Amino acid sequence: MKIIDWVNDLIFAANQVNDYDDVFIDTNPSFAIYTQIALAATDRIIAPVMADDSSRRALSNIYSLVYGINLPAAIYNQYAFHTKLIAAERQLPKIHLVIKNRLTQYMGPASAYASVLTSIDDDLTAVIKSHPQYFTFTDIDNGLVDVRDFQTTGVVAFAEATPFSRLAKGIHNIFGTQTQIQDPNWTNCINAINGVVKRL
């Protein structure tokens, strides 16, 4: 467990000096050892999903790899992450929020993605019902948040490494291309992020 505690040890050492209230860890979507180290240091999981089958499978992988739900064979249980963590008397992180992307501005969930988003909801509902101990919510509506596409505003924010709240509206030069951020789009992005923050 020494390796699995690397991030835990780092956070504990940092808190002795900086006294952080909350620490967010962005992990690789694979279940590599680095992801497991991060998960072992967390209390809650925030799972962002797109409206595609890959994201649906990714959520299923969280259920299996983190909690041992629907593993392909019982023999995997003795080697599974959740088994090892519990044996070391550690708490498993709980799923706190699923953030669903791919929304249009005026129509809500885009029709091309609606069926996938619904299937994600159905899968989530079934797991909450069968394993409520792995969630911070019992009502799916309290654990889901819809976020529209950030489009140009998101691209500019990413390219300039600037949060939406500090992003200037108007013309930006992104790699030699003039790109404009209009006020309505900027406002929509701010509102989307505020909606996520309220759920946290």
Give the count of domains, the chain: 2
22 falls within a domain: no
Do 160 and 139 share a structural domain? no
Closest CA to 5 of 39, 32, 30, 43: 39
130 falls within a domain: yes
Do 111 and 93 share a structural domain? yes
Do 122 and 108 share a structural domain? yes
pLDDT band at 103 (very low <50, low <70, confident <90, very high): low
13 falls within a domain: no
Pairing status of strand 108-109 against strand 144-146:
unpaired
| Residue 14 tokens, joined | 């940092």
21 falls within a domain: no
- Which pLDDT score, from 0 to 100, does residue 57 have? 86
Question: 65-74, 126-135, 180-189: which has the highest mean pLDDT?
Answer: 126-135
The residue among 149, 164, 192 that closes a domain is 149
Do 125 and 50 share a structural domain? yes
- Which pLDDT score, from 0 to 100, does residue 34 have? 87
- Domain residues for the domain of 169 are 150-200
190 falls within a domain: yes
| pTM, to two decimals | 0.80
| pLDDT reading at 108 higher than 60 | no
| pLDDT reading at 75 higher than 80 | no
55 falls within a domain: yes
20 falls within a domain: no
Higher pLDDT, 140 or 104: 140
What residue type is 4 in one-letter code?
I
2 falls within a domain: no
Do 136 and 49 share a structural domain? yes
pLDDT band at 32 (very low <50, low <70, confident <90, very high): confident
Determine the average pLDDT of the residues in 128-132.
94
